[in-house]
Amino acid sequence: MLDSGRLFTCGDGSFGQLGHGDYQSCSSPMEVSFFNSRHVEQIACGMRHSLVLLKGNLGDKVFGFGSGKRGQLGVYEDKVKSVSIPKTCSGLEHAEVVAILANGDQSAALSASGQLYTWGKSFSSSSNVCIPQLLRVSLSFEQAALGWNHALVLTSEGEVFMLGGSHHGVLSEPQKMTHLHNTSGEPNLSKVTGLDGKKVVQIAAGAEHSAILTGRSNQAKYVKFGSRTVLSYVVLISHDHHLRAKQTY
């Protein structure tokens, strides 16, 4: 993406994730003509799908293209195999979207009011969520990060919560997760413990691991969990007081 708002994509296009209207791969960046007369604000890429955020006088719009077998495009009430031309995500018409996220077969959007919407592969069951679903909790979120099977969210108070991920080991001390249960069938949030007295300023998530940056002494806290090596507690990896974080969205 250029600062002028033009979007270019390249790589594997076999699921339409490049947005060029076909299923061909491209070895060098090629402009996505669908957005030629529009200003692209943000982009996010999952395993085989892409999201684009547009902002304008007519409101915010999120577009999805690529593989939709788990509902990760958010463009239809039923899952679709693939889409090669960007389609508007449903269910976000009244949300002022400030950030979009994608990883694996999951997608998410964060609103200016601190609300989180998720769709695609479910965090709580084997079912899929084909339309953006609002996480109905009383918390307000400032940041979110997606892994393949989990998500992290950061509140305005600097607290970190997790969605999913328990099958690869929790992100904190074993048996000490604080769960915020709901009765709506939505995925439950679990508070990441082991960070008492520390204000978290940035979060990040990979496929099966996470990283947390605190603000008081600019120390990075790293948490790793996965099917091969499970480390289920917060581990300090740096005492470098010169470490600084740069926000990526």
- Per residue in 121-134, pLDDT (tens digit) is 988 766 889 999 99
Rounded alpha-carbon distances, angstroms, from residue 188 to 124, 150, 151, 178, 191: 8, 11, 11, 10, 10
- Map residue 3 onto helix, strand or coil: coil
Q: For 4-17, what is each residue's pLDDT tens digit?
A: 999 999 999 999 99
Confidence of residue 58 (pLDDT cuts 50, 70, 90): low
Q: For 202-231, what is each residue's pLDDT tens digit?
A: 999 998 889 999 875 545 545 444 443 333
Token pair belonging to 103? 């990883």
**How far, in Å, CA of 159 to CA of 199, rounded?**
7
Query: Half-sphere exposure of 203 toward its Cβ, with a 13 Å CA cutoff?
Result: 29
Which range of 104-108, 207-211, 237-241 scores highest in mean pLDDT? It is 104-108
Q: What are the residues facing 247 on neighbouring strands? A: none
Average pLDDT, rounded, for the chain: 81
